[in-house]
């Protein structure tokens, strides 16, 4: 009989913003974001809970954030400080177990099936860790405890900030069944929208779909969705995994149909990638551009350089170069024009100068691989929506 695992997911509360408020008492209780000011055309890296009340979140353009909250305070990121605090926190983890899988500076999975202090319950270990973190850093952390990584991750976000949630094995399926589909870890905004169109709105709905149907609609990811709908996750906690790529992508609430806007969004994504590379203190030789159209067709284009790049200008230049090589014209529409037919089937004179309609885009992404020796133990992953 396999031993039931005891997994903890630790997630620091609004980490970057909380560090700034800790170090500068005048910022406490204020709507604060860490990131570029609006006149720098940057994005929000992190938002305090006071700022989130105005609908502000990480990866939001700074100009939109200030429009939502005119008295918003901007502060520049201090990644060297965040790394130092993260090192303190990870040292605390290692007092309890060597099986620590860093996901970001502020987030990690711990396997405490057998912990160093011999504590009988994973929830007790989580309480000790949270108390140590607060005592030594004056920062709060939320924790989720369960039998696998997926459930632990879901639990850590269930009672933020400064919360502890335990999902027992016998409660796992009930917890998942009641969960809104957009709350599932691993199901993004675009996939959630597609699931809604299929009538999938909760874990119960997802669980009713057979594996074959999930694979039909979602490809290989269907296997993952089938398992998590049943609260199953066989992934082990993997300390010191080698990170293969660093990137960022944005799903748009409204599909983009204007080329200028597409290029502006690429610049914003390139800036986020640049920040992540800077945080990792690395660069990459292969840049990959990801484009998903409104009909869910997805294409990628890659270019490998002779040496690694990490500067914003280089990332943006290569990304735009790849983007310009993608055919954005609505080919089927233009083909009808060339044959002399209007879109509604009526005959019209062929006008070769008529500009074809652009295909609309629902997602853009940029990633760099062939990295300069980065491990997740040193990693920072700036999530698009910070928990």
Name which of 129, 120, 173 is nearest 151 in CA terms. 173
pLDDT at residue 98 in the model: 94
Second CATH level (architecture) for the domain 1-166: 2-Layer Sandwich (3.30)
Residue spans of the domains in the chain: they are: 1-166, 168-239, 245-378
Instruction: Report how far residue 125's alpha carbon sits from residue 128's, in angstroms, rounded to the nearest whole number.
Output: 5
Nearest 5°: the CA angle 287, 293, 294 is 155
Cα distances (Å, whole numbers) of residue 261 to 214, 342, 357: 34, 28, 15
pLDDT at residue 242 in the model: 65
Asked if residue 87 lies in contact with residue 81, where contact means CB atoms within 8 angstroms, the answer is no
* Residue whose tokens read 């027992």: 168
Which strands form 245-256's sheet, in the order they lie side by side?
245-256, 361-371, 284-293, 298-309
pLDDT at residue 295 in the model: 84
> 204 Cβ partners below 8 Å, 6+ apart?
177, 178
Asked if residue 147 lies in contact with residue 7, where contact means CB atoms within 8 angstroms, the answer is yes
Cα distances (Å, whole numbers) of residue 295 to 253, 262, 298, 344, 359: 14, 17, 9, 20, 9
User: Which residues are tagged catalytic?
Assistant: 107
Tokens matching residue 364: 């853009």
Superfamily of domain 168-239: 5' to 3' exonuclease, C-terminal subdomain (1.10.150.20)
pLDDT tens per residue across all 387 residues of the chain:
467 899 999 999 999 999 999 999 999 999 999 987 777 667 788 999 999 999 998 878 888 999 999 999 999 888 889 989 999 999 999 999 999 999 888 999 999 999 999 999 999 999 999 999 999 999 999 999 999 999 999 999 999 999 999 999 999 999 999 999 999 988 888 889 999 999 999 999 999 999 999 999 988 889 999 999 999 999 999 887 667 889 998 888 788 988 899 999 999 999 999 988 887 778 999 999 999 998 878 899 999 888 889 999 999 999 999 999 998 876 554 444 444 444 444 444 444 445 567 889 989 999 999 888 654 443 333 333 333
pLDDT at residue 356 in the model: 60
The DSSP code for 30 is S
pTM above 0.85, yes or no: no
Q: How many CA atoms lie within 13 A of 299 on its CB side?
A: 11
Tokens matching residue 96: 């309890």
Q: What is 245-378's CATH number?
A: 3.30.1490.100
């Amino acid at each position: 009989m396999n031993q039931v695992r005891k997994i903890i997911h630790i997630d620091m509360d609004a980490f970057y913003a909380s560090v700034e408020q800790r170090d500068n008492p005048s910022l406490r209780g204020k709507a604060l974001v860490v990131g570029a000011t609006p006149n720098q055309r940057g994005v929000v890296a992190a938002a305090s809970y006071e700022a989130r009340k105005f609908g502000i979140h990480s990866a939001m353009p700074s100009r939109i954030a200030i429009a939502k909250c005119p008295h918003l305070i901007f502060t520049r990121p201090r990644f060297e400080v965040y790394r130092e605090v993260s090192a303190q926190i990870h040292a605390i983890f290692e007092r309890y177990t060597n099986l620590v899988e860093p996901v970001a500076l502020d987030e990690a999975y711990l396997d405490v099936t057998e912990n160093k202090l011999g504590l009988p319950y994973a929830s007790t270990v989580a309480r000790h860790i949270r108390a140590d973190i607060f005592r030594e850093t004056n920062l709060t952390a939320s924790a989720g405890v369960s039998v696998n990584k997926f459930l632990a991750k879901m639990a850590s976000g269930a009672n933020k900030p400064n919360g502890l949630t335990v999902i027992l094995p016998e409660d796992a399926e009930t917890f998942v069944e009641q969960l809104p589909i957009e709350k599932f870890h691993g199901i993004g905004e675009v996939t959630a929208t597609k699931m809604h169109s299929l009538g999938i709105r909760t874990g119960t709905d997802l669980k009713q779909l057979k594996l074959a149907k999930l694979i039909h609609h979602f490809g290989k990811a269907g296997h993952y969705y089938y398992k998590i709908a049943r609260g199953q996750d066989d992934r082990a906690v993997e300390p010191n995994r080698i990170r293969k790529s660093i990137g960022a992508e944005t799903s748009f609430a409204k599909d983009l149909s204007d080329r200028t806007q597409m290029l502006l969004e690429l610049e914003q994504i390139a800036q986020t990638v640049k920040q992540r590379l800077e945080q990792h203190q690395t660069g990459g030789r292969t840049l990959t551009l990801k484009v998903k159209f409104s009909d869910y067709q997805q294409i990628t284009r890659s270019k490998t350089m002779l040496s690694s790049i990490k500067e914003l200008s280089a990332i943006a230049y290569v990304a735009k170069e790849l983007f310009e090589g993608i055919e954005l014209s609505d080919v089927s529409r233009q083909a009808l024009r060339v044959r002399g037919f209007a879109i509604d089937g009526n005959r019209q004179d062929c006008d070769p100068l008529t500009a074809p309609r652009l295909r609309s885009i629902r997602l853009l992404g940029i990633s760099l691989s062939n990295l300069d020796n980065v491990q997740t133990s040193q990693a920072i992953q700036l999530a698009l929506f910070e928990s």
